[in-house]
Amino acid sequence: MTQDPARLAETLNADFGQLSPLDRLVKLREEVKGRIVFTTSLGLEDQMLTHLIFSNNIKIEVVTLDTGRLYPETYDVWRLSEEKYGKRIHAKYPKGEALENLIEEQGIDGFYYAKEFRLNCCGIRKVEPLGRALDGAAAWVTGLRGDQSQNRLSMTFVNYETQKSLIKANPLLDLSRDDIARFNADHGVPVNALHDKGFPSIGCAPCTRAIQPGEPERAGRWWWEDDTKRECGLHVPAATASSEVAGA
């Protein structure tokens, strides 16, 4: 019988609330037929998921999007994770010609001058490589937490993404940052040194800064933009993505 992914997503979403993050990953792997891909930014949340996947030999591919503009500390976490778990974190990179054309048109740091330029950069460095990472996958795992931003607060544990034609699962959605930090410390999980320097959320170096006391967790991402729903295009509803991430 052909698996109905939309109905399966509804069932998994209802079940996830009663399960631990590990049990959520195990159940996802048991129920989903086909490839499952976890895309990691190598941040605090994603390192917890990497630990759970690798330590329990769950057959979920772990992939990172190397934009070419990451902090050195992020590459350190990548290396330390591969050394600790003895497993490879696969990488997807921007397409060379598209990146060359982008820099020719808007300059090396053009994203500072217009939101359109920033979205173009995110589209080439992150959104398009993500498409290749998820090509042919039946499910996509992320490290999103509901309390990270207003946009993410409305997300569910599991949903079916019609635009990508796959199941999207957020196993850490109901956990707090402190929950995850405590787990990583207890299990010796490698974490990015920038987290201790005021960086709760870490992306590309030119587009991420430390936050000040009292600022929202994602205030350090694309801080020069005025709006409060700043995303790169990876985790926005289909309608928003199609209207905001032109060319992505």
Cβ proximity of 41 and 203 under 8 Å: yes
Question: Of 129, 76, 124, 82, which is closest to residue 103 (Cα–Cα)?
Answer: 124
Active-site pick, 232, 241, 245, 248: 232
Global pTM reads 0.89
pLDDT band at 150 (very low <50, low <70, confident <90, very high): low
* Predicted local confidence at residue 92, as pLDDT: 98
pLDDT band at 45 (very low <50, low <70, confident <90, very high): very high
* Predicted local confidence at residue 3, as pLDDT: 79
**Token pair for residue 166?**
């796959």
Mean local confidence (pLDDT), 105-126: 97
Q: What percent of the chain has pLDDT over 70?
A: 88
121 appears as a binding residue in the annotation? yes
* Predicted local confidence at residue 146, as pLDDT: 84
Count Cβ neighbours within 10 Å for each residue of 75-100 and write b for 16 or more, e otherwise: eebbebbbeebeeebeebebeeeebe
| Unique residue bearing structure tokens 């959605």 | 173
140 appears as a binding residue in the annotation? no
Residue 192, pLDDT > 80, answer yes
207 appears as a binding residue in the annotation? yes
pLDDT band at 154 (very low <50, low <70, confident <90, very high): low
pLDDT band at 227 (very low <50, low <70, confident <90, very high): low
Mean local confidence (pLDDT), 155-164: 94
122 appears as a binding residue in the annotation? yes
Residue 57 CA to residue 161 CA, distance in Å, equals: 26
Q: What's the Rg (C-alpha) of the chain?
A: 17
Residue 216, pLDDT > 50, answer yes
Residue 140 CA to residue 60 CA, distance in Å, equals: 9
Burial zone of 36 (CB within 10 Å; 0-12 exposed, 13-18 middle, 19+ buried): buried
CATH fold of the domain at 5-197: Rossmann fold (3.40.50)
Residue that wins the pLDDT comparison between 36 and 226: 36
Residue 139 CA to residue 46 CA, distance in Å, equals: 16
Question: Of 177, 167, 178, which is closest to residue 142 (Cα–Cα)?
Answer: 167
Residue 100, pLDDT > 80, answer yes
* Predicted local confidence at residue 217, as pLDDT: 87
* Predicted local confidence at residue 174, as pLDDT: 94
The question of whether 35 is a catalytic residue gets the answer no
pLDDT band at 242 (very low <50, low <70, confident <90, very high): very low
Domain boundaries, the chain: 5-197
Mean local confidence (pLDDT), 81-103: 98
Residue 16, pLDDT > 70, answer yes
